[in-house]
Amino acid sequence: MILLRDDEIRILLDWLTLVEALRQGHRRGVDLIERLLLSEPSAAPVEQNHLLIWPAWRFREYCGAKLATVFPGNAKGSARPTNSTVYVLFDGRDGRVLAVIEGSEFTLRKTAADSALAATYLARKDAETLLMVGAGAQAYAQIRAICAVRPSLARVLIWNRTSSKAQALAKRLSKEGVAARAIRELAPAISGAAIISMATAARAPLLEGVHLSPGTHIDLVGSFTPDMRECDDETIRRASLFVDTRRFTVETTGDLAIPIAARLIGPDDIRADLFELARGRHKGRGSIDEITLFKNGGGGHLDLMTAIAAYERAARAQSAEPD
């Protein structure tokens, strides 16, 4: 059994390696995917504790599960994180434990690479400006992953409700050679961005479709419950819609579930998911002026693909070491 910690995941799964692993993973497919959410009753729903289990199985090869806890109360005067995650990978032929993977960097990279893979099909190859809405840990990963697959990007603009966080992220990226700066006004930046990535906890839309310019690609990461939204109805009307997986993303994320419930769109308005894009069943972006939108909803299949990539690279590295 291999134990992989965050620092090892950073080395094993550079952005281009992981994006290509996810592309090949979607082409090969996953046979079973499920979700289980257990919640501890609480008088205050926003402080409810959760245990999430996301299993997936590629028959006769690998199976595994991500286990995650969400304890919001830790944010109040505690040094403990609100989220903790671990992934366990098993041999799909004999059931042996192959790897236990620390989950923080693993989850950040999996999520960002999911969006970056979509960008290879949906974002213009000559994109120059990336607008990042949100400034948390996931925002940093989104920026690095998208810049890796679209090296034409010459500047990164960062907006956050708390401007000091946007400034801190811009400073960090600037030290790493990325031309990044924090901005205070969101609307003007929307109209000038070729790619807009959003990783927020917004429950009301921040992205207004009236400001979008032709050819923009939108990457929505933050809304992960049916009552959360990052973009408004006008964005949904103007964009060609894509998702990572139809099964989970369409019904469980508010950016799509809410307009579907309002009959603004229907499930058939989703052009393709990443399985269809990776397998060439849909070409992705159709024109230079098309506005594309990708909803990143996650899922156990992505965790399994990421775990397989990390394990196989780690196993090859160990076998290459001299005795």
Shared-domain flag, residues 163 and 61: no
62 within 8 A of 304, measured Cβ to Cβ: yes
Whether 308 has a pLDDT exceeding 70, the answer reads yes
Residue 174 carries which side chain, given as an amino acid letter? Answer: S
Shared-domain flag, residues 119 and 49: no
Assign 299 to helix, strand or coil.
Answer: coil
The model's pLDDT over 220-248, given as tens digits with 9 standing for 90+, comes to 998 877 888 999 999 999 999 999 998 77
Whether 45 has a pLDDT exceeding 70, the answer reads no
Q: Looking at per-residue confidence, does 140 or 318 come out higher?
A: 140
Shared-domain flag, residues 153 and 208: yes
Closest CA to 241 of 284, 301, 200: 284
Shared-domain flag, residues 214 and 123: yes
Residues in contact with 54: Cβ distance below 8 Å, sequence separation at least 6, in sequence order? 33, 34, 35, 36, 65, 66, 68, 299, 300, 303
Shared-domain flag, residues 94 and 139: no
CATH number at residue 83: 3.30.1780.10
How many CB atoms are located within 10 Å of the residue 255 CB? 30
Alpha-carbon distance of 115 to 147, in angstroms, equals: 11
Alpha-carbon distance of 122 to 252, in angstroms, equals: 22
Taking the model in full, what pTM does it have? 0.93
Vertex 318: Cα angle to 317 and 319 (nearest 5): 95
Residues of the domain holding 134: 111-298
Whether 44 has a pLDDT exceeding 80, the answer reads no
Shared-domain flag, residues 85 and 119: no
Shared-domain flag, residues 277 and 142: yes
The model's pLDDT over 188-217, given as tens digits with 9 standing for 90+, comes to 999 999 999 999 988 899 999 999 999 999
The model's pLDDT over 153-180, given as tens digits with 9 standing for 90+, comes to 999 999 999 999 999 999 999 999 999 9
Task: Find where tokens 């960097």 sit.
Answer: 105
The pLDDT, as a whole number, for residue 35 is: 87
Number of domains in the chain: 2
The model's pLDDT over 107-142, given as tens digits with 9 standing for 90+, comes to 999 999 999 999 999 999 999 999 999 998 899 999
User: For 195, phi and psi rounded to 5 degrees?
Assistant: -135, 135
- pLDDT confidence tier of residue 322, bands split at 50, 70 and 90: low
Shared-domain flag, residues 121 and 149: yes
CATH number at residue 225: 3.40.50.720
Closest CA to 108 of 252, 293, 298: 298
